[in-house]
Chain A
Amino acid sequence: MSQALDLVRNRIVELLPRFRRFARTLTRNPHDADDLVQIAVERALLRYEQWRPETRLESWMFGIIRNAWIDEIRSRQRRSELFAPEESGEHVGDQSAQGQLEHLALHAALARLNPEQREVVGLVLVEGLSYKEAAEILEIPIGTLTSRLARARDSLQAELSESGDKPT
């Protein structure tokens, strides 16, 4: 077992709470989120040599998590598994549990974003990455990131003020 691998493992353990949080902004479902983190961890360990120490490990992992989620979305579509439209996403799974979240304003608002907007919101607003870091992870120009983020915010804001929860 190499030292580099041990290092990666230790860092991943430290960062697991953040990976879970990021995964939750993507999937909106704690179960899927943890499954996603698990897959990403396994993938990361298989190719830990690809991690360049000059990159922050979390950025590298966020990228893996995000790519694993895209794979998952695609494979669900291929399997034409019940992949609910954005608005009704909360109805998949346990109705009663999901119900309690349904109306919580922010969650509802987040659910209305498309996956591209959600990953931007997750990285910048929730994880607090800079535009540059987020754009690198998503492999998009910074201008694209900025406009995606602006659109996502507009739509979150619109949802929130509609539900009477105006930010103060």
Chain B
Amino acid sequence: MIITDELLMAYADEELSAEERAQVDAALARNPQLAERVAQHRALRQNMQQAFAGVLTEPVPERLLAAVHKGRSAPAPVDLAAAREAKRGARSKAWTWREWGAIAASLLVGLLFGNLGPQSDKGALVVSRDGGLIAQGALARSLSEQLASGPLISTGVHVQLSFRDKSGAICRSFLVRQAQSYAGLACHEGGKWRIPALTEAEPGSDTSMQMAGSSLPPVILAAVNSRIAGEPLDADGERAAQARGW
């Protein structure tokens, strides 16, 4: 029997007959590379499930429940454009941020904090709350206390640049170096650092940065550019903002 990759995949997905499975088992015992391939197939499946697991615990939007219970009198929208049109009255652009946050959080849990296991909340720098991401622990402290223009403090968190966004809130970009590095943007809202953008970062990309916008990962740079009003704060501006409690 020729062991194809498709066969290994079907084995990992538990789709094989008992007979086929026995043959693959035998092949796996002989060839560790094949076993590794099976493990990869399983890991991918698991990661994919984790990445979308958060959707299941999200509250179901009212409009979907209403759609189930609605009598058959109202005509169904023909396509998404129509559905969106119909919805617009009820919910003015009130933001998909919650929803994005929730997805992002589930992905993060799966990809970034997944290895922390049950105590993840404790050591995590980012938690998902109300559908958004909020900085906590060392990250929250660094965002509040560290001046980008000041001396580097070795918390593993490096605050890079600060600016005022279009709504007047202070936002700061940051880099976290841990087993896995990531870069993000945090904006101070209601006494908390909300994180509208977060991405994995190149390890070791922070060597010479301080201000240099060019060292920001493109996705964070784009998030900065879409929010920034005017120029980044200089050292004085940053200090003044900190003194006002951001």
Interface residues of A (CB under 8 A from B): 9, 12-13, 16-18, 20-21, 24-25, 30-32, 34-39, 41-43, 45-46, 71-72, 75, 79, 81, 93-107, 110, 121, 124-126, 128, 130-131, 146-147, 149-150, 153-154, 156-157, 160, 163-165, 167-168
B121 contacts chain A at the CB level, 8 A cutoff = no
CA distance A37 to B58 in the complex (A): 15
CA distance A72 to B140 in the complex (A): 43
Question: Secondary structure at chain A's binding surface: helix, strand, loop or mixed?
Answer: helix
With beta carbons under 8 angstroms apart, the residue of A17, A95, A106, A165 that contacts B226 is A95
Residues of A within 8 A of B195 (CB): 100
B233 contacts chain A at the CB level, 8 A cutoff = no
Closest 7 CB pairs of A and B: A167-B43, A103-B199, A42-B76, A30-B99, A21-B55, A97-B100, A125-B48
Q: How many interface residues does chain B have, given as a range?
A: 35 or more
Question: Secondary structure at chain B's binding surface: helix, strand, loop or mixed?
Answer: helix
Residues of A within 8 A of B222 (CB): 95-96, 99
Interface residues of B (CB under 8 A from A): 5-6, 9-10, 13, 15, 39-41, 43-45, 47-49, 51-52, 55-58, 60-61, 63-65, 67-70, 72, 76-81, 83-84, 87, 95-97, 99-104, 107-108, 110-111, 195-200, 217, 219-220, 222-223, 226-227
A sample of 17 inter-chain contacts (CB < 8 A) reads A17-B55, A20-B64, A35-B83, A38-B67, A45-B72, A94-B97, A100-B198, A101-B100, A101-B103, A101-B107, A126-B49, A154-B5, A156-B48, A163-B200, A167-B39, A167-B47, A168-B43
Distance of A98 from chain B, by nearest CB (Å): 7
